[in-house]
Structure 1
Amino acid sequence: MTAQYVDSRWIGKLERGEHRWPSVERRVALCHVLTVTDDARLGLYSPRRSPDAPPEYSGPQPAAPTASVTRIRVDDSLIAGQPDAVEVWLAELHRLTQQAGPYVTPHLGTQVRQHLDVLDHLQSNGGRPHLASVDARWSEYMSWVADNSGASDGGSWLDRSHRRANEAGDQLLGAYILMRQSQRALDDGAVRAAITLSRRSLTHGPVPPRTRTLCLTRLAEALASNGDDDTDNVITAARRGLQSATNDAEDEFASHCDLRYVTAVDARCRQLLGDTLSAGAIFNELLDGDNQVPLLDAGIWYAHLGECYLPDDPERAAGHGMNALRLANETGSYRAIRASQPLAIALRRHTTLAPVRAFVDAHRAAVLSR
């Protein structure tokens, strides 16, 4: 019997990754409290492993994994790993993303991780360098899945993607990953880092117009978060960039960056800079029932729209927050839950109002369920 002191400071270090491999007693205790079966389910791994080995998935797990989840078969043509298998790997990734659509499930994360395990094995000991760009793309997608499912290792997968993109000399993907890292920094409230990363993405080699436009939107939101009026100039540059954008296959990463997307970023920037009236009008128009809005984006836009109504109409703000949670539940996206957190915090002082109390309680339940 030994004393195992666990307080908020120790838990904080665990969450930040400063403790990667606690003592066996603490790991057993964590498994017991979190009702999981082993260390892998906790997302913990020994630092003695290879630095390229990704941390285990620590997101939500099904209560009783079925054979279809735990026995996903990786096609033999992918395992062969020959140079001509590059296109096969990319085709499989395209198939998986199209099949999943906007819905993020534990099964999807398991599929992608098992394919990445195969890629990791194929590249061991410096073998098959031609697979570096393939690994970079799969790792980037895994980071997106992790962020949307509420797992804590999205940043680690994005770091792996960045390393592989550099190994492959892939300038386009390198710029896209820097943009994604800027987005994650914004989600974490690290505004200064977000500005730096988005500026780096704009100088990371020549990239197609739509990808550059996407990088500009990240810079605009980062500047707005810092209260910088230069945001308007960046949004103007982003709109101008769209005029020269085409449906080039090379620009596939940024295919979602259209005029509607840039307009939503403009609304978000206005809201961050205090112009909630025009921001709310833009969001309302974008989310009008006649528009076919991407579900993942819509959940986040509803959360931002709710913030526009905070000063004058808390009940309406809570209603939009509930829309965000509804879409988060429908798609499995944790990012929409996270985006609605500032709204839930700001509305706590209005919980005497029944709609507000219902939203705050629903948000709390949504966070705990992840």
Structure 2
Amino acid sequence: MQNGKKALIAMSGGVDSSVAACLMKQQGYTCMGVTMKLYDNEEIGVSSEKTCCTLKDVEDARFVAQALDMPYYVLNFKDKFEEEVIQRFVDTYIEGGTPNPCIDCNHRIKFRALMRRMEELGYDYVVTGHYARISYDETSGKYILKKALDSTKDQSYVLYNLTQEQLAHTLFPLGTYEKTEARKIAEANGLLNAHKHDSQDICFVPDGDYGKFIEGYCERTGKEEEGGKFSPFEPGDFVTEDGKVLGHHKGIIHYTIGQRKGLGLSLPQPLYVCRKDLDKNKVVLAPNDRLFQDTLEAGELNFISGEYPRGAFRCCAKIRYKQKEAPATVTPIDEKRVKVVFDEPQRGITPGQAVVFYDGDQVLGGGRILRSKEE
């Protein structure tokens, strides 16, 4: 039985979005499946056999839509994706940071560009296969973003940019399910991708070699190589904190804070990337204990309630997707920046990544890490 509501289902061809579509149909929504065409493999130099956004994925999504008796379309967001995700990814590395393109894709493509398309088509909701929950608080009149019940699959970290308006028109059907349950639902409904492997890598850098991708992208597009006094593509020195040269690096874009493997050095003790000096073209290496800091500054902020904090507040915060949140104090610096001080030092605070604030299972908001205490 139809409930009178219309849902636009973002379908990647994977099991999660397919089960989301199945659940929405079972709940009586009028559904349309869409796959977002985000890039051409040849244009960005990625093998079509390695990336998750293949013709096979489109075929899987189309098959599921047909099995669920719902219309299905492929929507072209290539230009928007390159501008809002790939270019920001490249720019952040060139500037010495480490980006999180999944956050940009959710923020700028799925819940901005796709939601505009939803409105144009006269639909009520955008539905995705994210593991997160949305509730509505009658007292405050606000929507609340919460962690998924399955803590091993919770994706609330990458959704902290959602606004009240977006939450009002978004549904996460999998938020109350465990991954094993989702696969059982897919199996019970005869979906061909019930046991399809999850995608692990960034979709447009499936082999994990970010430096190689950035070099190739800049060469193809003629993008100017900027960062500091030196080109971030130019080889330079690995050094200790007191300036001792340990060897030579192949370009600052190839390294990120906390990295130990892939340095190409034979060292008497494990050393990690603790800082990148773009002005001197040096990558500073140090022992693991030097990676722990307790203070960071963040910008590009979003608070789920839509209200900027008037003063300091206590919460739990985390600086990486897979990291457990830790107690911290967040203090506004001005209308665009906050200072976050953790009760205990955190390992590998990295500019370009996100810091996300929690109150129990509720997401308060978050922002982009601009710098750590020692920078």
TM-score, normalised with respect to structure 2: 0.27
Question: RCO greater where, 1 or 2, for CA within 8 Å and sep 6 or more?
Answer: 2
Greater share of helix: 1
TM-score, normalised with respect to structure 1: 0.27
Greater share of strand: 2
